[in-house]
Chains A and B, each alone.
Chain A
Amino acid sequence: MLIIGENINATGKKIAEAIRTRNSSFLQELALAQVAADYLDVNVGGGKGSTEQEIEDMKWLIDIVCEVTDKPIVVDSANPEVIEAGLEQGISLRAERSNRVVMINSVNAEKAKLEAIGPLAAKYQVGVIALAMDDNGIPPRVEERIRACDTILEGLSYYNIPAKKIYFDPLVLPIGVDTTQGQVTLKTLEQIKARYPEAKTTVGLSNISYGLPQRVAINDVFLLMLMYAGLDSVIVNPLRSSTIGSIKLGEMLIGKDAHCKGYLKAYRRGLFNK
């Protein structure tokens, strides 16, 4: 299971402020704390300043994060120009650091998005997170989400991006608003795995528990169900030990942990004592 750490995201006010004031030590600590993550997602927010400002922010942020960790970076923005700046920064750092910007977050079935992100993913040879949605938002039903995935696969193949570089996100809507949505995500995930066996899957979980108490418990259990349905990666807060614990347990129980080594290692390191 590929764990993408979500903690450096400027939708959080503290983080937006730290980026604005160039508080590098605060942000570097956030990066360092995410030990349990395989990749680090990096997002500078958007909309409040100019595109130029966002580009500067993204370059700076990737630079200071790469100063303290060699974990691969996922460049996260709604603006393709900001994504490109992040990818370019990754290249320019290559000489001195071992990090790589390895993934784009994200594309969807919108034509303009595909035409902007497709060439970037091809040029920089990075993976791309692909949301199962189109211009009209998140479809409430499985069939429409799969149709969006078909459009994305076709759109990206035009730029010679192989399916194995695509991380489809089946998307999650709140169970508290519509109790069919757990199944919609699970079935969409199953169908993605069946239709495009080479493609990968990932998910941002927390929407499932919107409006309900005990959100972490709901997220962790849903994560296990998604793992059984074939999930390859997850975007989470890697500091949450119950979530990392769920991943270790899940990998063991579905047979992806030879001799239960991952689970036992986590146990011996005290992950389950917290």
Chain B
Amino acid sequence: MNLRKLYPVSFILLLLSFFTSELVAAPPEGYDFLSLNKAMKQSASEQKPMFLYFGRYGCSTCRKMHKEVFSDAGLNKELSEKFVLAYVDTESGNRIRLPNGERTTEMQFASRNRILGTPTFIYFSPDQKALFKKAGFQTIDTMGLYNDFVLEGHYKTSKLKEFLATK
């Protein structure tokens, strides 16, 4: 994947602060999804990779993944223990502050990053570089492979597509 396409996303890496004023949409149950700012801070301080989930309130594919994929105990354990989890509601008016100092909303953040549909997942390395973006339904197995690609450091030497071709 051409990481330049993820350039706009990369500037969240230095998020400074986050103001929340209402309920978040609906990340999957049984996971400790954080606001973007909290997740970025935690990822930086713990040197853990971050898993960013762009969702939408009422999104049917999100619901399907919650029931059929995120409900998997193994995936839950791996994501919860080895990643810092962040959730952005693509229609929310919740305010975030970007590294350039700008205050905007989660909805505006999603639109300027050209998130076309939900769910969309972006994986970040422990040093907070956007690695790849995946949109739409993903199976438990593919999620596991994405996790391996990041956790085992394959992203340092190969592209995701190349890595997946070996599996």
The answer to whether A and B interact is no
Q: Contact residues of A with B, CB < 8 Å? A: none
